[in-house]
Amino acid sequence: MRYTHVCLESLGYTLPEEVVTSSELEARLEPLYRRLNLPEGRLELMTGIRQRRFWSPGTLPSEKSIVSANRAIDAAGIDRSLIGALIHGSVCRDHLEPATASRVHHELGLSPDCLIYDVSNACLGLLNGALQIANMIELGQIRAGLVVGTEGSRQLVETTIDVLNRDESLSRRSIKSAVASLTIGSGSCAMLLCDRELSQTGNRLAAGAIRANTAFHQLCHSGADEAVADGMAPLMNTDSERLMAEGIATGVATFDNFLQEAEWSREQLDKTVCHQVGAAHRKLMCESLGIDPANDFATLDWLGNTGSVALPVTLARAAEEGFLEASENVGMLGIGSGINCIMLGVQWQEARIGGEASGISPAAVSVAT
């Protein structure tokens, strides 16, 4: 997929105030650790994730999506009447129906002519939404569009801790399928795309590439379909080692096609932002794709895996911190369970970010390469 008329104009993001460290989770897992004689510090050592964040109990995804979307719109300085599509792309949503996009659309005050719906594709929902909006802009159907999502991790982490502590049949081997659930964090992000003629930044979307490797759809799955309603008790079962291996293989298979579509050589790919899973995944991803870790920006150390918002939030932080420079080719490399892969390339020029970097110390954002 190649684009000539689409720009990634702005991003807006919101992060929870409540910080939960891996050591705090281990303290809550004391019954399990004692029974299996597990060493303290194991969780951070295995994942490279020092902390993650939780929304306040009872927070609906739409509440934070509205904030993030408003920040993206304000950062772009675009007339809201020009936004012709709104997609809510996170796994988490307010209810099974109506679409969470309905409330977000209402609170943003967007036009009744704006196309709205929800999209769900594990950790790739926001990238899927960005592709759909880009296609509509390229076809001349709309002039601007917004994809937004909010992921909440509190219920999943707390349910996982409860099950691990109560189920005395679990062994060191069998608990591996629950480790990924303890890495999940909360966050919210919005991306505003527009026609090149409207753009003030010139951040042109060059190309996109996709790949579905659904023979491995069973490697990561939850229980029944649930929204973020009272009493929700989600539980994930993840074959982390196999998922990482097959996910990286899917990424490798997508990467050459991505470069071809963007008409870039490997040397012309200046900076990358990948989906944020864990330290081992990031290391193997960089090695497998031939990416210098120094040219890849990460937030997994202090945000954990925030699902579908992980990559765009990390892109926003990279832009805020000056990691992305004018005239650089930037790769957004997403891999999600299913297994699915989406890679987008942007010719970066200018950062327009609506965020909240206050209160985040430099020590909190450092990630070892």
Provide the annotated active-site residues: 97, 123
Question: Of 328, 335, 279, whose CA–CA distance to 310 is shortest?
Answer: 335
> First CA to last CA across the chain, in angstroms?
32
3-state SS, residue 213: coil
Question: Of 16, 77, 101, 91, whose CA–CA distance to 303 is shortest?
Answer: 16
| Contact between residue 270 and residue 328 where contact means Cβ atoms under 8 Å apart | yes
Locate 136 and state its tokens: 């509509």
| Contact between residue 15 and residue 303 where contact means Cβ atoms under 8 Å apart | yes
Kindly report the length of the chain: 369
| Contact between residue 214 and residue 338 where contact means Cβ atoms under 8 Å apart | yes
What values do phi and psi take at 160, rounded to 5?
-65, -45
| Contact between residue 9 and residue 203 where contact means Cβ atoms under 8 Å apart | yes
Say how far apart CA 193 and CA 6 lie, in whole Å: 7
Say how far apart CA 311 and CA 289 lie, in whole Å: 17
User: Is residue 347 packed enough to be buried (19+ CB in 10 Å), middle (13-18) or exposed (0-12)?
Assistant: buried
Beta bridge partners of 274: 333
| Contact between residue 41 and residue 79 where contact means Cβ atoms under 8 Å apart | no
Say how far apart CA 37 and CA 172 lie, in whole Å: 9
Beta strands in the chain (DSSP E): 6-14, 18-21, 51-54, 83-88, 115-118, 144-151, 187-195, 204-212, 220-221, 237-238, 271-274, 296-297, 328-336, 340-348, 353-354
